Amino acid sequence: MSIPGIPGLGQIAPVDAPSQAAAAASAAGASQIQDLQPFWEYRFEVPHGSELTIKLVSGTAEKDGTELAPGNAYSFTATKSKINTWHGCSLEVACPKGSFDAYTAEPSAADQTPSVSHVNLHFKLEGLRSAAASRHARGNTDAMGPRVLVVGPPNSGKTSLVRTLTGWATRMDRQPLVVSTDPSEGMLALPGTLSAAVFATLMDITTEWGSTPTSGPSPIPVKLPLSYYYGLEHPEDNAKLYKRVCSSLSVSATARLTEDPEVRAAGMLIDTTGIANPGAAKDGSAYDALAHIVAEFSINIIVVLGSERMTSDLQKRFGSHRTTLDEEVTVVGLDKSGGVVERDATFMQQVREAAIREYFFGDARNTLSPFTQQVDFAALSLWRINEGSLNDDNDNGGQQHHHTTMTPASDDTVQRVEPSLMMQNCTLAVMYASVHDPPDTIRDANVMGFVYVADVDEKRKKLKILAPVSARLGDRPLLWGSWPEPMVSLLG
């Protein structure tokens, strides 16, 4: 069947078929030139173990709001993403290792790509930032830029939109405070955390958010996040603890806005976990968690991606709400990009394992040497994150944890335990707190770093611990959650 052509744009390629250039480059490892016309997108999927190199030859292009530098080779692995162009470009594509899948999305007109609505949202936010900066310059210290919450179903492009808005903001010399409230994935930190960081410089486009802070050098300025430990995959796994962690993060985020006028004018961009079934979640914990975030972070703009039902629900729920600054809460519905693809459970597990491995050992560009030490059981202050309440018969998914010394927090969200074999291959959070602090203080503290339990010797009562730096672990309390799941192959 012939495919119609559009004058000036060429033919519309099937969006589910890999391009001939991708197939040729994958098979031979040789470079191919991919020409994109205005508003086209080059969408690619690179599996784990493969490597795709893309170089901008001519024109202009960007990935998630960050421009590609001409002549610079960018290497991608274990990712599903896209590169788009507003004015047309030529890309040199090569696959020196493994294979990849790619195709070119060719909209027939600018109004057929969601990127246009995204850039319109960006300019609307820029107007609000400029207004806030002007009011602050005139002496109104309460003036604050937009606080944007991006919500939607899983795999609707929420994180990509937040990254894109962040990239565009930094190109306008803004310094937005970016917040991740999705514990299933980490932002500049390991999964299981909620984190925030100011983005004042370019992002590394070869990674999701950039590398986790390490002791090694980086060509891109490292963003130092403020992280709080939740230790579970979903907000509903322990709604009380999740809200508590969000509150702790919001206090620190608000303080950061107060301290820096430029960050205050730029405002916040907040990513969230996906809500799979808006109808079922309407009266459930998912919407309650969103309402808590809206209140704690004083959200004045809610962007809903890819769900008319969710847009309607949130408009009804927040249509009459006002922020602490007496602003209206605006709910905006946007279509999700056609380039958004589903990342299955196996792919995401590999992403989490790669993040943990990079935290301790670095990557191909930056090799790190972690420290290994033997630690006595008695030297550690270890606390376990509870799923649900200790009074709930279904706590921890029906699993029983052994060797517990019962020092629960006042609301049963964490519980002191002794080391056991269940900890082997788990990642623990090292907290900015004292071992003598009460449970609530330990739980609400921010994360100093992470360690990995390589071996548990119950007979000798010793742990083999892997840490990024050499330090005494007995001086800080450790939090242990079920997320991310144990990683057996870290030292394999």
Q: Each residue of 443-473: pLDDT tens digit?
A: 999 999 999 999 999 999 999 999 988 878 8
Mean pLDDT of the 430-450 span: 94
Quick one: pLDDT at residue 343? Answer: 81
Cα separation, 332 vs 316, in Å, equals 12
Select from 351, 353, 364 the least CA-distant residue to 79: 351
Is residue 122 pLDDT above 90, yes or no?
A: yes
Instruction: Tell me what pLDDT residue 4 has.
Output: 32
The domains located in the chain, with CATH, are 5-105 (2.60.120.1030), 113-334 (3.40.50.300), 370-480 (2.40.30.330)
**pLDDT value of residue 112:** 63
∠ at Cα 44 (41, 47), nearest 5°?
Answer: 165
Does the pLDDT of residue 116 top 70, yes or no? yes
Residue 51 CB partners (closer than 8 Å, separation 6+): 75, 76, 77, 95, 96, 97, 98
Average pLDDT for 119-139:
92
Whether residue 81 has pLDDT greater than 70: yes
Q: Does residue 371 register a pLDDT over 80? A: yes
Give the pLDDT of residue 490: 83
The answer to whether the beta carbons of residues 165 and 123 sit under 8 Å apart is no
User: Residue 220 — very low, low, confident or very high, per pLDDT cuts 50/70/90?
Assistant: low
- The per-residue DSSP string of 187-219 comes to SSS-TTEEEEEE--S---TTSSS-PPP-SS--S
Tell me the average pLDDT across 300-310: 93
Residue 376 predicted with pLDDT over 50: yes
Q: pLDDT tens digits, residue range 338-365?
A: 777 778 888 889 889 989 998 998 877 7
Task: Give the side-chain half-sphere CA count within 13 A for 38.
Answer: 9
Can you say whether the dihedral through the CA atoms of 125, 130, 131, 132 is positive or negative?
positive
Average pLDDT, the chain: 84
Spatial distance between the Cα atoms of 487 and 426, rounded to a whole number of angstroms: 6
**What one-character DSSP code corresponds to residue 386?**
P
Task: Extract the tokens encoding 113.
Answer: 């790509």
What is the structure's pLDDT at 110? 60
Cα 88 from Cα 92, distance rounded (Å): 14
State the DSSP code for 458: T
Is residue 406 over pLDDT 60? no
Task: Please check the confidence at residue 318 and state whether its pLDDT lies above 60.
Answer: yes
Higher confidence at residue 50 or residue 277? Answer: 50
Q: Can you tell me which residue has the tokens 């739980």?
A: 443
Checking if the pLDDT of 378 tops 90, the result is yes
Distance in angstroms (rounded) separating the CA atoms of residues 213 and 199: 14
Q: What is the pLDDT of residue 392?
A: 43
Tell me what pLDDT residue 210 has: 67
Report the alpha-carbon distance of residue 301 to residue 103 in Å, rounded.
34
pLDDT at 429 over 90: yes
Angle at Cα 218 formed by Cα 212 and Cα 222, nearest 5°?
50
The rounded distance, in Å, linking the Cα atoms of 358 and 360 is 5
pLDDT of residue 11: 34
> What backbone torsions phi and psi does residue 250 show, to the nearest 5 degrees?
-65, -35
Collect all residues with Cβ–Cβ distance below 8 Å to 29 and sequence separation of at least 6.
94, 95, 96, 97
Q: What is the DSSP string of 219-253?
A: SSPPP--EEEE--SSSGGGGHHHHHHHHHHHHHHH
Question: In whole angstroms, what is the distance from residue 90 CA to residue 56 CA?
Answer: 6
Number of Cβ atoms within 10 Å of the Cβ of 145: 28
Which residues is 220 bridged to in the sheet? none
433 or 390: which carries more pLDDT confidence?
Answer: 433
Residue type, 310: M
Report whether pLDDT(1) > 90. no
Average pLDDT over residues 309-318: 92
The single-letter DSSP state of residue 482 is S
Among 183-187, 190-194, 256-260, 394-398, the minimum mean pLDDT is found in 394-398
pLDDT at 471: 77
pLDDT in tens, 14-66: 333 444 444 444 444 578 999 999 989 999 999 988 999 999 999 999 999 99
Is the peptide bond preceding residue 176 cis, with omega within 30 degrees of 0?
A: no
Lowest mean pLDDT segment, chosen from 40-49, 168-177, 216-225: 216-225
Q: In this predicted structure, which of 234-243, 295-304, 356-365, 398-407 has the lowest mean pLDDT?
A: 398-407
Share of the chain above pLDDT 90, in %: 58
pLDDT of 108 above 80: no
Please give the annotated binding residues, written as ranges: 41, 80, 155-160
Higher pLDDT, 107 or 230: 230
Show the tokens assigned to 354: 């790669």
296 has a pLDDT exceeding 60: yes
pLDDT band (50, 70, 90) for residue 337: confident
Binding residues for ATP: 41, 80, 155-160
| Residue whose tokens read 């005494």 | 472
Tell me the pLDDT band of 492, cut-offs 50, 70 and 90: low
